[in-house]
Structure 1
Amino acid sequence: MADPILISRLRCPECDHEEDMEMPTNACLFFHNCAGCGVRLQPLQGDCCVFCSYGTVPCPPIQEGDCCHG
């Protein structure tokens, strides 16, 4: 199995600000404050983290098929 991709670009749904972020390999990130407008992002229903909801790449646990959610 290939190593997970660790960088994802988050896009804020409120202001469209984009930010490249390094994802943790052993956890899901539930909250993130947008650097553009300050809104607090949280996962959409059914997603485990902000990367899965707003990122260009899903979180490493999802990539590896071993997510902490449900």
Structure 2
Amino acid sequence: MDGVRLESTLKCPVCGHIKTETMPTDACLWFYMCDACHTILRPKPGDCCVFCSYGTVPCPPVQAGKDCRG
């Protein structure tokens, strides 16, 4: 996956907490717990993962032009 960025900064829609995370290259992340308010984030309708919904960079498969929605 040349040219694919592996870090994305997630922003919690509930409390606004921001954290940069390394994205997995072999799977979508469907759940993520905010470190600050402990809200469990799930993808928005139509998105495959929390990085595509709340991150500054979409997940690696989407960056590579693949449809990773199951």
Calculate the TM-score normalised by the size of structure 1.
Answer: 0.93
> 1:7-65 CA distances to partner (integer Å, 9 max, x unpaired)?
00000000000000000011100000000100000000000000000000000010012
RMSD in angstroms over aligned alpha carbons?
A: 1.3
Q: Does 1:18 align with 2:18?
A: yes
- SS of equivalent to 2:14: coil
Structure 1 portions without partners, runs of 5+: none
Structure 2 portions without partners, runs of 5+: none
4+ residue runs over 6 A deviation: none
Aligned length: 70
Calculate the TM-score normalised by the size of structure 2.
Answer: 0.93
